[in-house]
Every structure is written in structure tokens, then in C-alpha cells.
Amino acid sequence: MKNLNAGVAVITGAGSGFGREFALAATQRGMRVVLSDIQPGALDETAHLVRNAGGTAACVVGDVSRAEHASLLADTAMQQFGTVNLVFNNAGVGSGGLVWENTLKDWEWVLGVNLWGVIHGVRTFTPLMLKLAQDNPNYEGHIINTSSMAGLLSPQLLGAYNVSKHAVVALSETLYHDLGAVQSGARRVDCSVLCPAFVPTGISQSHRARPADLQNDVSPTASMKVAQEMTHRAVTSGKLTAADVARLTFEAISARQFYIFTHPKIMATVKIRLDDIANLSNPRDPFGLKEEVRPNLQRAE
């Protein structure tokens, strides 16, 4: 996808992290943006930054786990700007702990945002973008689904998060193949899956925006406390910034690159997992964390 100028980007999770940087990167490239977040204040801050940079932004506050929110985003984009060229299904949250200790509300919250948010975006925007391509021979569109390196690995204490991100990778790969099946000649609607590793984005504090009806009514377990501490430490120590990831993502869009990996050194660990599968070996610890996790669990009890 080459020509972004005067196009329209729809971005969920736009109040912070990758979403905010996607909005600024799109603005720098001459795009108008439709921004979504569950936190009105954070969303307003991003819109302010976009407008200060000379851009145009429309804002929609809402919960991506609800199908009607994706429909509202599409309606807003078409009514205000008349088209959609980029869709960033980006909103994400994190929750940790031993997989059998995750509560039903943990699963509902994490899968609702991380997976159902992407599903709703794909179901709403793909047919719209294919119709736009059918009606306009010069149209180009691209869907970017935010997964994680946790969508290619299965580190301990991140069960619900891992499940959601693996599902996003599978959904995105299927979307890629399905788009190829319905388009003859050059693909004018394409897609990518973004798999970042540890980047300072604030996701380790995403519980602050957790809806009241999905709040746990029990105290966090020792494993949940350890997972929160380890995730926060890993995320905040990341050297790559959210702005760096946005730049890499837009480069991948221009190159029509499907897999977007921000930390290539981790691919050696992905290969270990793939080798274990191919060789029918028992899974190895992806990050060698077992010796760290055990004493931390004991300390937190």
C-alpha cells in the first residue's frame, strides 16, 4: 500500500501506547483519523495531539468488546470522511496468574477486548473495504491486527493473554488467506498481524480501565501478583518505544508485509517452539523463567 495521503485510518485503543502513536504516524502521512478508546480523557489527549500536528480527528468513546461499537466506528468514518483505508484493531489489555486461577471475569475481560475486539473489527470493516475496492479501482485498504509475541509463544503466568493473542494470529492468518480467495489479480484489501514484545505502552496498568461489571470480587492470588510485577518490570524496561513500533508498522503496510515482528532476536525462541512441535517434543520454557517464577511465587504467598 503506497498512497496514504488523504486516506482515513480507524484506530482502536487510541488513548495511549501503540494506538496513540499510530494516530500520530497516520497524521504525519496526511491521513485523517477516527479514534476509539474506552477512556474519554485519554482519547481527548490523543485527539488534541493529532489536531496540534495539523490533523483531523473524529472520536468515538466505547468498548471494543461490543459488536455495536465497531459498527459505530464504521458509520462515523463513512459519514464524516466517506472512506476507510487503514483499520488498526489495536485495543488490548493484560491479565496474569496461573491459568487455573484466572477468574471467569478475567477471561471475559481479556478475550472480550483482545479477541472479540478484533473479531468485531474484522467482521465490520472487511466487507466495507471490499465494497469500497469494488466501487473504486484506485482504492487501497489494509487491516492491522495487534497480537503479541505471546501469540507465538506460551510463557507461564499469562494464560488468558496468551490464548487471546494466539487466537488473533490465527484469525489474521485466516483473514489473509480468505482475502486472497475473493480477490483476483492484485490484492487491494490486505492485512497484517503485529506481534510486538516488551514495549513501554502502559498495558501492564490496563486494569485501571477495566469495566466495573468485570472487576474481580476476590483478592488477587500470589500468582496474579507475581505476574503483574514481572509484566510491569518487563514492559517498562523495553528499549523500543511505541513510536518505533508505529514506524515499523507503517513501513510494513507500505511493503504489504503480513508478519510484523518488532524484536527479531525473539524469533530464535519462536523457532524452539516450532521445533518442539515438529519433533513431538515436550514444550520448553520460552524464556527460561521457571527458576525465577518459583521463588517469586513462594515470596508472594
Residue ranges covered by each domain of the chain: 8-265
Average pLDDT over residues 215-222: 91
Q: What is the pLDDT of residue 234?
A: 76
Residue type, 221: T
pLDDT at residue 235 tops 80: no
Q: What percent of the chain has pLDDT over 70?
A: 93
Three-state secondary-structure class, residue 158: strand
CATH topology of domain 8-265: Rossmann fold (3.40.50)
The phi and psi torsions of 95 (rounded to 5 degrees) equal: -150, 140
Which of 200, 301, 61, 225 has its CA nearest to residue 216? Answer: 225
Reply yes or no on whether the pLDDT at 288 is more than 80. Answer: no
Catalytic machinery residues = 161
Mean local confidence (pLDDT), 204-211: 76
pLDDT of residue 232: 79
E-only strand ranges, the chain: 8-11, 32-37, 57-61, 86-89, 141-146, 189-195, 259-261
Pairwise CA distance, residues 246 & 269, whole Å: 24
Indicate whether 289 pLDDT > 60.
no
